[in-house]
Structure 1
Amino acid sequence: MHPTSHRPRTPDLAPRFIQSSASEYIELFVGVGASRVRDIFKQAKEKAPCIVFIDEIDAIGRQRGAGMGGGNDEREQTLNQILTEMDGFEGNSGVIVVAATNRSDILDSALLRPGRFDRRVQVALPDVQGREEILKVHVKNKKLAENITLTDIAKRTAGFSGADLENLMNESAILTARRNKKAITMDEINDATDRVIAGLEGRSLTDNASKKLIAYHEAGHAIVGTLLPYHDPVNKVTLIPRGQAKGLTWFTPGEDQSLISAAMLKARIAGALGGRAAEQLVFGSGQVTTGAGGDLQQVERMARSMVTQFGMSEVGSIAIDDGGFMGPSYSEDLSKKIDEAIKHISDECYLNALTILMKNRECLDRVADELCELETMTGDRLKEIVAEYTEIPEKLAAV
């Protein structure tokens, strides 16, 4: 007999997997959490090679010593036990610990030092290819119309997370069932996208005066956004209320929103102020409404970030801490400069929006009239109308 036939059978070296949530370790009785940690790592050693996955580790991994009375509580004892198991005197060869959290900023520094969680993977929002792969998972039990491709849906859902995409397809399926259709069409997907972004659809406006005012407001957003080269392109304009909004103008952001230039931020501020500018231009300063309330809050946030976080103003290339709940920690003189810089950015962008609408008043009237009649306008139709009156600039990248 050949000698190699007496060799022992090679064991299965595929790694085992143990999953747990950090909240399972937190109990009223001191020592229970640490005991559970020891039990899990004991199982992992017996099954090595093994992967131990701890979800929401911030439940027990918060910075130590931050509580009252020294913070010697059950949570800290559990954390100490995890630290010991991960890098103590006993070697845990063959055991890999993986954890997930969305609050990495509050984790204890001992958890993050080399030898423990020394590799960090930032899970960002999926790109168009990632969204397409995620959609493949969520349409396995759903029937799509023949003319729909997942690539088209992925391109129309920039900025969506995996949970948003799951919600989108579930809402699309519900709408399909309500409309007694056999397959999901692009109409259901578009309506579901609107619902995921902006909320439930409300009743159409019946008051002609209010409808006309909102039409001019949304047309102002759309035209200013279309004619600014650094602004995101318009996807759709509608007068159908959703959530708290009486009308909405959707823009399609680019895939990469991690680097945004000052020109793009100012374009977005001007676009947000386009609605108020249209109201003032058409109805006069005395007839402007509260419809721009949300727009003005958005403008203030963007302008303040430009001044205090990104160094995009006369205040200087500095990042200023707002002090959190303790209030600002900078001088009154600097506070005055910040307020003046924010107002300057807002006034400059508002004047830009008003100038654009004054030069294109006929186009503004045309878009508002069609909105009053049809209530919804696509971005392609908007560009067709605007192109009849003026040249549309090519959209430029953020950087």
Structure 2
Amino acid sequence: MKARWWQGSLLYLLILVALLALAFSFFQPNKGPEEVDFYKFVDNTKSGKVDSIQQDGNSIIGLKEEKPVIKAAFVGSTKELMDSLKDSGVKLGDDGVKFEVKTGGFDWGSIMLSFLPLVLFGALLFFLFRSARGANTQAFNFGKSRARLSSGDKPTVTFADVAGIDESKGELQEVVEFLKNPQKFLVLGARIPRGLLLVGPPGCGKTLIAKATAGEAGVPFFSISGSEFVEMFVGVGAS
């Protein structure tokens, strides 16, 4: 019971975290640098809004106090970029704007933050499918029922132990004969009934005479009460 409570709480916690992560991923404000053209990038740099420039592939990023503020596209080598900035009046170096080339690498923090909602959503689906599979396994796990087996090799109950229902014993005697010597009946084309329905109030001897039938025929007897059935399909079982 404690395990079920713990699993249920973990499932609800995963659902809550997944929803929060998705909301954070979709609705968080865009805090990236403003994208401008090269000429506006130069103007912002000359006006003092940028104190360092970083080249990242085909992009240049303007930073103010180490925070990205503007971004522009530039296709060319590092030397061509530096020459274009100098020709536009931007001072580079110790007396001007700091310039650096960003080395290749992965921003693992951003990558993990991007994939976190997907991971949580996958974990949620895993728990849901696992719960559904457990329910289906329980539904079709009839082979592991709690039916009790009485061996037919050493019968403990026979018709001699049943009194007061001679008519029922006479009808069941035919079933006993079929179970003892089925070949004799099969030659004649007879088939044993699929089942027998014993009707009566509780305590009238239905289970006892069924067990006696198995004992007379020398076959195993399985017994299980209706309350021990696990409902496998809607409308079938103890309910």
TM-score, normalised relative to structure 2: 0.19
Q: Larger % of strand: which?
A: 2
TM-score, normalised relative to structure 1: 0.13
Q: Which has the larger radius of gyration?
A: 2
Q: Larger % of helix: which?
A: 1
| Greater relative CO, 1 or 2 (CA 8 Å, sep 6+) | 2
